[in-house]
Structure 1
Amino acid sequence: MKRQFFQSKYILAAAVVAGGLFFHACSKSFLEREPQGSLTPASVSTKAGIGELLIGAYAALDGQQEAQAAIGGGGPWEAAPSNWIYGSVAAGDAHKGSDATDQPPISLIATGQFDASNGFFNTKWKVLFDGVVRVNVILSLLPDVKDMTDAEKTQVQAEGRFLRGHYYFELKKMFNKVPWVDETHLDDYKQPNNVDIWPKIEEDFKYAYDNLPNTQSQIGRANKWAAAAYLAKTYVYEKKWTDAKPLFTTIIAQGVTSKGERYKLTDRFEDNFDAATKNNTESVFAIQMSANNGSGLIANGNQGEMLNFPYNSPFGCCGFYQPTQDLVNSYRTDANGLPYLDDYNTQAVKSDMKILSTAPFTPDAGNLDPRLDWTVGRRGIPFLDWGNHPGRSWVRDQDYAGPYAPKKNVYWQYNQDKYKDPNSWAPGSAINLVLIRYSDVLLLAAETEAELGNLDAAQGYVNDVRTRAANPKTAVYKYLNDAAPMGGFSTTPAANYVVANYPAGRFAAQGKDYALKAIRFERKLELAMEGQRYFDIVRWGTANAELTKFYAYESKITSDLGGAKFVTPRNEYYPIPQRQIDLSLKGGVKTLEQNTGY
């Protein structure tokens, strides 16, 4: 069966089968069930059937099916919910990595030379609309279910609309011109994409916020505060600052996790990227990942990141997603522990570029923000408990993509028996994919306050994030014995970590433009390699300037950015996949319009 959005006769079947085939493929908690086979239409018109379909709608979050492929076909990485290609590689957080011959469609995305024929966009489109379809089928069946109370139906509708809001949020920020297809369109799915759907996304998140409970009995289900955060983030994308402000204030004052714990930043930055500490107080909404749970399912682990481990290393594969020198330089701090907001690339961090792993190398001795070494693997610094990163020997083609390795997606050695997914040709892991975490909320709140002229409040939120960065628990420490990295860590920092808060009144004294610059830079540092930056710089209107500067600097270091350019407004959104436009014929006329410039 083809799972393409514009094939109506398969829509209901795809969604019904989803409950039976995919509901167990996503998490270690409530999303995990024994395979039950496909569901019949009769069975889904019951409380139990609706429950399975709802689990199927959650299961689409990771975009993966069981056979090492995205839902509807394509590589798992093409549909990765982290958006590591579309949100980070495209924005200068990272190089594609590997070598020039491997996954060339990513190179086109990395250099701004993509077009509507790039199959990666079609994969992403199909996966997100598969999630939409799953929700729409639930909502269409729900009124006729006889063995559910009104309250139970309301909660299912709220969870479904939360999920649909997420899928459309992703579609909107990537493709802009997106057709709105809801439960009333199952017989008329070829809707036009010439109407702004932000109001519809707002409606879904508002309904979820108003009707979801504070807590949930099962980890992984959305609660009202996850919906509130998504709604507030939607307002930010729309620049509705006066709507966003009271919502952020309420979330920060009252918000709790689905387990009922008050939102707060963890003491340790790395707790957000460790399977042993997932679902913590900073996790607002996360895709639940698992490994070694006895199911034998490949897609349980985070297969969207399967390419993103150091090459020729204990992980085996594949050398993609290498952080850029530009990103690394961003973590340089001055004598006062503050970042260089404008000229960070004149303060370049020392690297082992073109130095053999067998040759001596001493890491940079200057001031650095410790978040660097939980985000980037670099020569001579502990790579979790796998040993000091050896440099060139773990890089597939250093001249092509630089000397660094990703780190936030990597599992630890000491507990890999629990958290490594060994069922595929490349690693998977049980590290959750956190879609919204509390530091993101704080920085969005800071941005909102700054836009409204409340600069002291904005600085307070930024300093909350920087206070955690300055916590000694966030530093990376040297091993007790380099030859036995699992033997523990010393009390000696692995680098010269110096990070501090902005002095009282700094934002107010320097003005709104300075405050926004500092907030935006803090998002770069805090959320690096998390698939957010491209969408941030586009919504800020700074993408052309930022990427033009990045290409000019980074292309002198690596060879993978030839021809790179950002064209406004063309590159502000990805193209509507040509395959979907071709499938949208209605009475011989294409329903879908292409974005500007394609």
Structure 2
Amino acid sequence: MKAKYIKFSVIVAAGVSVLFSCKKSFLELSPAGSTLETNYYSTPTEALAGVVAAYDPLNTETGGSDNTYADPLGALNSASDDCFAGGGSSSDMTTWQAVNNYSLLTPATGPQGEFWNINFTGVNRTNLILSKLASVPGLSASDLKRYTAEAKFLRAHYYFDLVRLFGNVPLMTAPLATADLYNQKQVASTAVYAQVETDLTAAIPDLPTTVPTSENGRASQGAAKALLGKVYLYEKKWAQAAAQFADVNGTPGGTSTYGYHLLTNYGDVFSPSNKFNAESIFEIQHTGSQSYNWNNWNTFKSNVYTQMVGARSYSGPIYFAGWGFNPITTQLVTAMKGDPRYGYTIVNLDSLTKATNTKYDPSYQNTGYFLVKYAPLLKYKTASGTTELNWPNDYIEMRLADTYLMEAEALVQAGTNTGRAQSLLDAVRARVKLASVPATLTNIYNERRLELATEGHRWFDLVRTGQAPTVLAFKNFKSGVNEILPIPLRELNNTVLVQNKGY
């Protein structure tokens, strides 16, 4: 666990003045940073800046020591049977190529460095702000409770990703002295899950039930309950998972106590014109209005993934040209043919170009089918700055249809209230005018694939349900090894970390 990746440079909070904004230098260690930190957190405004800094890694698509592109969605889609890695060649975005073909995944090559960096940066920022909040002069009791709850929600979020991706990881719940950074041992995944549960259980009562529009992107009570339900699901604590989801979901097909309800039109869920809609439970915000260019690579907070998934050199209606990553697999195309969600998930660009007498350059692993939910639509093209770097598409990390299906799964697994499980599954299908099917695990898993395709959930679902070795055999997935990622090679240097089995 090298200090430059795990240790949080305390200058970060001082530099953050608006929600989800940071600079590359915030992650760099310097004597000036240490000096500044000792004098910081002296006002409520500075306390809020520290909380904002703790959110920032969720929104980070670029950065790190080598200016890498680090969006998690592309790696997760590449690792699944939803998409191929694609791009310009087999050496384009080697991190994604490695999980697209698991035989290439090694401690030195793969997306594990970005996942590790993003989440441990988040852990250290939350630990720092939690250590400071109680002593901030003038901070109101209500703000102290809320900021503490937000930081615990975020620490739980970061550690949930870490334990799912890596298994046994170091567990740190307080800032560390420099001398201690290299001596952090991994703990059992059960201990990490226990800490995640503790943080979320503590956070829930002190989070707001709803978040005002001016604070969109901050954690709510519903988001924390949804995340806790998901944690329980991964731990196979079926009854506890179902109970948390029931609070979030309310009556299937209705409006929950938190104001969540399924949108009438499935396609509206993903529109940049409909951000933070009633189906969104936890949403990671991006902006297209920064007017940034390539000189701002490590500072912008737009959605570069949108540019990544567009067709290369495309010239025609509807879409802007992209870089050809994550072409849709024929497996997903076959699974979705005839489903009403197909057109909101997949575009057959070969058919479109033929019909409009236009063209594009096939990318590596091109199938002719491209991703729609985050596609670069011409109507959202920026009027200033570099177009490729200013897309406004948000990422909805948790939404109501997802929690409906997770609750249905938990109920079936528990063997209780299967009638409610049926109603939850029916509501998801009825929204797109599909008839009822029995609420079996097979049908629920299939519905998750169709409903949530290309949203980054598929790989996790395949692994946690034991389907990955069979479904991902065509990508050389190795059972007993590839269910988790290797510890990044650079993190093993001069530390006591132990590499994961098989790597």
Q: CA deviation at 1:230?
A: 0.3
The alpha-carbon deviation at position 262 of structure 1 amounts to: 1.1
For 1:409 and 1:570, how far apart are their aligned partners in 2? 31
Correspondence for 1:33: none
Q: How far apart, CA to CA, are the structure 1 residues paired with 2:357 and 2:195?
A: 48
Q: Which one-letter code corresponds to 2:284 in the other structure?
A: I
2:131 counterpart of 1:140: yes
| Counterpart residue number, 1:458 | 421
8 Å CA contact 1:16–1:41 kept in 2: the answer is no
Question: What is the number of equivalent residue pairs in this alignment?
Answer: 472
Distance 2:7 2:486 in 1: 24
8 Å Cα contact 1:376-1:405 kept in structure 2? yes
Higher alpha-carbon deviation: 567-576 or 259-268: 259-268
Q: Secondary structure at the match of 2:219?
A: coil
Alpha-carbon distance in 2 for matches of 1:285, 1:568: 32
- CA shift, 1:159, in A, is 0.4
Q: CA deviation at 1:194?
A: 2.9
State the Cα distance separating 1:44 from its structure 2 match: 2.2
Q: C-alpha displacement at 1:59, in angstroms?
A: 1.6
Q: Cα gap change, 1:524/1:254 in structure 2, threshold over 3 Å: closer, same or farther?
A: closer
CA contact (8 A) 2:2 2:493 kept: no
User: Given the superposition, is the C-alpha separation of residues 566 and 119 from structure 1 closer, same or farther in structure 2, using an over 3 Å criterion?
Assistant: closer
Matched, 1:409 2:398: no
SS at match of 2:102: coil
Give the distance between the partners of 2:10 and 2:251, measured in 1 at CA. Answer: 36
Match of 1:364 in 2: none
Alpha carbons of structure 1 residues 397 and 290: separation in structure 2 relative to 1, 3 Å? closer
What is aligned with 1:444?
406
Cα 1:391/1:84, change in 2 over 3 Å: farther
Counterpart position of 2:321:
316
Contact 1:45–1:142 (CA under 8 A) maintained in structure 2: no
Correspondence for 2:500: 595
Rate the CA distance shift 1:104–1:415 in 2: closer, same or farther, 3 A. Answer: closer
Partner secondary structure for residue 299 of structure 1:
coil
Aligned to 1:249: 246
Pair 1:234-2:196 in alignment: no
1:108 to 98, 107, 110: 98
Structure 2 match to 1:573: 484
Q: Indicate the residue corresponding to 1:213 in structure 2.
A: 208
SS at match of 1:140: helix
Contact 1:254–1:262 (Cα < 8 Å) also in 2 = no
Q: SS where residue 280 of structure 1 aligns?
A: coil
Q: Read off the aligned partner of 1:213 and give its amino acid letter.
A: P
- Candidates 376, 379, 382, aligned match of 2:346: 376
| Correspondence for 2:29 | none
Instruction: Report the Cα offset of residue 244 of structure 1.
Output: 0.9
1:107-137 C-alpha deviation (Å, 9 max, x unpaired) = 2211112011115311221121111111111
Among candidates 278, 281, 296, match of residue 281 of structure 1: 278
The one-letter amino acid paired with 1:546 is V
1:392 CA drift (Å): 9.2
Q: Distance in 2 between matches of 1:279 and 1:130?
A: 26
TM-score by length of 1: 0.73
Which letter does structure 2 place at the counterpart of 1:145? V
CA contact (8 A) 1:286 1:434 kept: yes
Aligned: 1:521 with 2:446 = yes
Classify 1:449/1:177 alpha carbon distance in 2 versus 1 (closer, same or farther; 3 Å): same
The partner residue of 2:79 within 87, 90, 93 is 90
1:434 aligns with 2:396: yes
| SS of equivalent residue, structure 1 residue 44 | coil
Tell me: CA distance 1:70–1:22, structure 2 relative to 1, closer, same or farther (3 Å).
farther
Residue in structure 2 matched with residue 343 of structure 1 by the alignment: none
Unaligned regions of 5+ residues in structure 1, if any?
Answer: 28-36, 333-367, 471-498, 508-514, 552-563, 585-589
Structure 1 segments (4+ residues) deviating >4 Å: 21-27, 37-40, 293-298, 387-392
Distance 1:162 1:183 in 2: 15
2:430 to 454, 464, 467: 467
RMSD: 2.9
Distance 1:532 1:294, change over 3 A: same
More helix by share: 2
CA distance in 1, matches of 2:163, 2:304: 24
1:70 is matched with which residue? Answer: 63
Aligned residues of 1:308 and 1:409 also touching (Cα < 8 A): yes
Is contact 1:70–1:123 with CA below 8 Å preserved after alignment? no
Aligned partners of 1:177 and 1:593 also within 8 Å: no
Task: Report how far residue 144 of structure 1 moved.
Answer: 1.8
Return the letter of the residue paired with 1:232.
G
Taking the aligned partners of 1:375 and 1:56, their CA distance within structure 2 comes to 33
> Given the alignment, which residue of 473, 493, 499 partners 1:582?
493
> Measured at CA, do residues 329 and 8 of structure 1 come closer, stay the same or move farther in structure 2, by a change above 3 Å?
closer
* The 10-residue stretch of structure 1 (281-290 or 103-112) with the greater mean CA deviation from structure 2: 103-112
Q: Which structure: larger Rg?
A: 1
The answer for unaligned runs of 5 or more in structure 2 is 23-31
Compared CA separation, residues 153 and 328, structure 1 to 2 (3 A): same
Does residue 541 in structure 1 map to residue 466 in structure 2? Answer: yes
- 1:278, 1:432 within 8 Å by CA — same for their partners in 2? yes
Counterpart code for 1:595: N
Distance 1:379 1:401, change over 3 A: closer
Whichever residue aligns with residue 58 of structure 1, its letter is: Y
Q: Does 1:118 align with 2:88?
A: no
Q: Could you say which residue in structure 2 is the equivalent of 1:153?
A: 144
